[in-house]
Amino acid sequence: MPNDLWLSIGAILPIIVLAVWACLLLLVDLFIPAQRKGWTASLAAVGLLITLAVILSRLGQSQSGFGGMVMVDNFANFLSILLLASGLAAIALSHDYLQRTGIERGEYYVLLLFSISGMMLMGMASDLIMVFLALELLSIPLYVLAGIAVPRLNSEEAAIKYFLLGAFASGFLVYGTALVYGASGSTSIAKIVQVIQAGQHNLTLLLAGAGLILVGLGFKVAVAPFHMWTPDVYQGAPSSVTAFMAVGAKAAGFAALLRIFVLAFPVVSLDMTPVLWSVAALTMILGNFVAIAQKNIKRLLAYSSIAHAGYILMALTPYGQSNVSADSVASALFYLVAYALTNFAAWAVVIALEQADERGLELSDYAGLGRKQPALAAAMTVAMLSFTGVPPTLGFVGKFFLFRTVIEGGFIGLALIGVLTSLVSAYYYLRVVVIMYMQEGEPVVRRDGWLYATAFVSSIGVVALSIFAGPLIALASRAILNLF
Amino acid sequence: MVPIQYYTALSAILFTIGALGVLTRRNAIIVFMSVELMLNSANLVFVAFARSFQSINGQVFVFFVMAVAAAEVAVGLALIVAIFRSKHNINIDQINNLRG
A250-265: pLDDT as tens digits: 999 999 999 999 999 9
Average pLDDT of the residues in A65-76:
90
pTM of structure: 0.95
CATH class of B4-94: mainly alpha
How far apart are alpha carbons A149 and A155 in whole angstroms?
6
When divided into structural domains, chain A yields a total of: 1
A78-95 confidence digits (pLDDT tens): 999 999 999 999 999 999
Position B1 pLDDT exceeds 80: no
Residue at A129 is within a domain: yes
How far apart are alpha carbons A311 and A324 in whole angstroms?
16
Mutant choice from B46, B54, B87 vs A, greatest count of A C-beta within 10 A: B46
Residue at A32 is within a domain: yes
Residue A463 structural domain: 3-478
Average pLDDT of the residues in A233-261:
95
Average pLDDT of the residues in A371-386:
94
Position A385 pLDDT exceeds 90: yes
Contact (CB<8Å) B58/A181: yes
Q: Which residue has the higher pLDDT, A482 or A419?
A: A419
Least confident of A52-61, A286-295, A406-415: A52-61
- Stretch 8-37 of chain B: residues touching chain A, C-beta under 8 Å: 8, 11, 15, 18-19, 22, 28, 31-32, 35
Q: What is the mean pLDDT of chain A?
A: 93
A118-138 confidence digits (pLDDT tens): 999 999 999 999 999 999 999
Position A484 pLDDT exceeds 90: no
Residue at A483 is within a domain: no
Give A303's pLDDT tier (boundaries 50, 70, 90): very high
Residue at A484 is within a domain: no
Provide, rounded to the nearest whole percent, the portion of chain B with pLDDT above 70. 99
**Which helix (DSSP H) or strand (DSSP E) does residue B64 occupy?**
helix B57-87
Give A1's pLDDT tier (boundaries 50, 70, 90): low
Q: How far is CA B32 from the centre of its chain?
A: 7
**Which helix (DSSP H) or strand (DSSP E) does residue A63 occupy?**
strand A63-65
Average pLDDT of the residues in B8-37:
95
Residue at A244 is within a domain: yes
Position A345 pLDDT exceeds 90: yes
Asked whether A265 and A299 are in contact (CB, 8 A), the reply is no
Average pLDDT of the residues in A470-478:
88
Position B70 pLDDT exceeds 70: yes
Q: What is the largest CA-CA distance in chain A?
A: 71
Contact (CB<8Å) A133/B68: yes
Report the DSSP beta bridge partners of residue A125.
Answer: A70
How far apart are alpha carbons A427 and A291 in whole angstroms?
10
Q: How many CA atoms lie within 13 A of B78 on its CB side?
A: 15
Mutant choice from B6, B41, B47, B97 vs A, greatest count of A C-beta within 10 A: B97
Average pLDDT of the residues in A9-32:
94
Residue at A362 is within a domain: yes
* Residues of chain B contacting residue A154, judged by C-beta atoms under 8 Å apart: 97-98
Residue at A279 is within a domain: yes
